[in-house]
Structure 1
Amino acid sequence: MDVGITLPGFGHDIIAFAQHAEGVGLESLWHGDHLIPLNPFLDSTLVLATAAAVTSRIKLGFGVMVVALRPPAWTAKQVATLQHLSGDRVLLGVGSGGDAHGEAAWRAVDVPFAQRGKRTDAVLDVLPGLVRGTPVGLHGAQVVLSPGATMPPLLVGGGGAAALRRAARYGDHWYPAFVPRAAIAAGVARLTELADEFGRPRPGVTVGVSVALGDVPAAAIDRRVKGMTDYGVSEEAAREVIVTGSPARAAERFAALVEAGADRIVAMPFTEDRFRQAELVAAATVAV
């Protein structure tokens, strides 16, 4: 099992945190992708490029890039550039964008919110060829980007039926977050069926998990539950999926997700002691 951790959404300690996460042995770093979010958030491509420049081993994940907000050629150019800068360490999480952040970002770039799923699929149809630098038809012309790069592993975010179908059709991994163990197991079973329909191997599974290890005040957990309910998660489900307690207890929770079908865990710390959280998550990884 691989275990990664999310970077802070913003702040001057992103560089130090990236180096710290690599130093404690975590597999990957992840950053979300929001144009007009509920909370302040730096640009994902620039943050990951910065992390690439100050690390040498740890993988760099988009969790997840909302590709429908961008022209596909620019998306491919950025991904290929990051592959070159990082030495092929990119994990390309993609998603269609959800309801939680509203339609402001979509209006800002003149993309209809209702068409986000269709546009996401259209980008994924051409993205691998564009990244690799092979000829791709766009708007009636052949486009070749140079220099081409290795197409990174593609992870498809989301927990619904459309996301599962998209993951089976395009993805190397399915990437749900904040979902119970039973939903992972059910999703893996459905993913297997869909992959068979598309004649592809069943994608792997990366699971995003909200964590706060060690001695955490109940009020901090309550605030996190409230934040998750704002994203459409029920309070009962939010309390079920949050991972708290000792590294040994977290290891048990991670192992249960692996048993359900997960190959990678992405820890999403929600307390202020992020550097300590990285250490505790790394300790949990060793204990699995």
Structure 2
Amino acid sequence: MSLEIGVILPTSSPQPGQAILGDVRESARYAEGLGLDSVWSTDHLIASAPMLDSSVVLATAAAVTERITVGYNVLLLALRPVAWAAKQINTLQLVSNNRLVVGVGTGNPAHGDIGWRAAGVEFSDRGRLTDEALAVLPNLIAGKPAVLPEPIAGKLGVERRLSSGEADAQLEVTLSPGSPVPPIFIAGTGARAHRRAARYGDGWATIAMTPDEVRANLASINELADGKTLKATVIAPQLDGNAAEQLAAYEEAGAERIILPPTGNWRHDYETAATLR
């Protein structure tokens, strides 16, 4: 079986009020020592439970490991100016020796809109801003010229009077140094997320879908993908007594990677994941 098995670093929790905060260095080294394929950091500014900054977490994990993939699961790209996000991504690529994978999503509504408001982003704009960012992200990461809308003062909450000519201005940006563009997968299950994955993604991600649901969604996405064939990352898959057969069913349905959910005891979680692998 070529299915990759990943785990989430102990820096967040899907359950409100139940913090899972552990030693990032120790947990990343432990996952690598067990032979796991990847470690992941959840991303948000203000969530329903405590959460560490994902870029700092991944930099820490990369610094104490040599082989294991490190990844965003998933990066809320629209929370940040895209040039800053690209700078963090290409720096992580360089310091990790190209071990980064970037999942991109638009955020779980269960966390509310407070984090978006704090970042000066309208919650209702997050899908549009994600699409706009994805359109220029690869060039920015690679150190190639990218054209951004300018000025951005309004997005930063700064008052500025603009003439109609200024409002339509654009800014050409080149980040240096560039890096290889990491694999980018796009999360989401709606029609707009399918189109986003087909257009911008190297893969697609979903939470807790069955193998049959994964197969059906991938078929829909790949019909839109203009010659690409995307595979799936399945987060928190539905596994029970016969996990080996279920993992094989996910792989047959088009999954390339499984990310197991945290339970509150990361050592036990990682050992379970290693046994499954």
Farther-moved stretch of structure 1 (258-267 vs 16-25):
258-267
- Give the gaps of 5 or more residues in structure 1: 211-240
Residue 89 in structure 1 maps to residue 82 in structure 2: no
Q: Deviations over 1:16-63 (max 9, x none)?
A: 111010011111111110111011110000000000000000001100
SS where residue 205 of structure 1 aligns?
strand
- What's the CA shift for 1:74? 0.1
The 1:279/1:12 distance shift into structure 2, 3 A limit, reads closer
Partner of 1:7: 9
Partner of 1:215: none
- What's the CA shift for 1:180? 2.2
Divergent runs of 4+, >3 A: none
Whichever residue aligns with residue 266 of structure 2, its letter is R
Q: Deviations over 1:56-109 (max 9, x none)?
A: 000011000000010000000000100011000000100111311111011111
Once residues 17 and 253 of structure 1 are traced to their aligned partners in structure 2, the CA distance between those partners, rounded to angstroms, is: 26
- What's the CA shift for 1:13? 1.9
Once residues 23 and 126 of structure 2 are traced to their aligned partners in structure 1, the CA distance between those partners, rounded to angstroms, is: 33
- What's the CA shift for 1:276? 2.1
- Equivalent residues of 2:10, 2:22 under 8 A apart: no
Match among 183, 187, 194 for residue 213 of structure 2: 183
Aligned residues: 247
Whichever residue aligns with residue 99 of structure 1, its letter is P
The within-5 A match list for 1:68-217 is 68-138=78-148, 139=150, 140-195=170-225, 199-209=226-236
Indicate the percent of aligned positions where both proteins have the same amino acid: 46
Q: Deviations over 1:122-151 (max 9, x none)?
A: 000000000001111122121110110111
Between Structure 1 and Structure 2, the one with more helix by share is: 1
- What's the CA shift for 1:12? 4.0
Whichever residue aligns with residue 136 of structure 1, its letter is A
Whichever residue aligns with residue 98 of structure 2, its letter is D
Whichever residue aligns with residue 148 of structure 1, its letter is G
- Equivalent residues of 1:169, 1:200 under 8 A apart: no
- Give the gaps of 5 or more residues in structure 2: 13-20, 151-169
- What's the CA shift for 1:204? 1.6
- What's the CA shift for 1:261? 1.5
SS where residue 100 of structure 1 aligns?
helix
- Equivalent residues of 1:158, 1:175 under 8 A apart: yes
- What's the CA shift for 1:244? 4.1
- What's the CA shift for 1:275? 0.9
Across the aligned residues of Structure 1 and Structure 2, the Cα RMSD in angstroms comes to 1.3
Farther-moved stretch of structure 1 (274-283 vs 64-73):
274-283
SS where residue 269 of structure 1 aligns?
coil
Partner of 1:255: 248
SS where residue 63 of structure 1 aligns?
strand
Residue 273 in structure 1 maps to residue 265 in structure 2: yes
Once residues 271 and 37 of structure 2 are traced to their aligned partners in structure 1, the CA distance between those partners, rounded to angstroms, is: 13
TM (norm. structure 1) is 0.83
Once residues 75 and 25 of structure 2 are traced to their aligned partners in structure 1, the CA distance between those partners, rounded to angstroms, is: 20
- What's the CA shift for 1:120? 0.3
- Equivalent residues of 2:28, 2:61 under 8 A apart: yes
Once residues 76 and 40 of structure 2 are traced to their aligned partners in structure 1, the CA distance between those partners, rounded to angstroms, is: 14
Whichever residue aligns with residue 5 of structure 1, its letter is V
Once residues 54 and 44 of structure 1 are traced to their aligned partners in structure 2, the CA distance between those partners, rounded to angstroms, is: 16
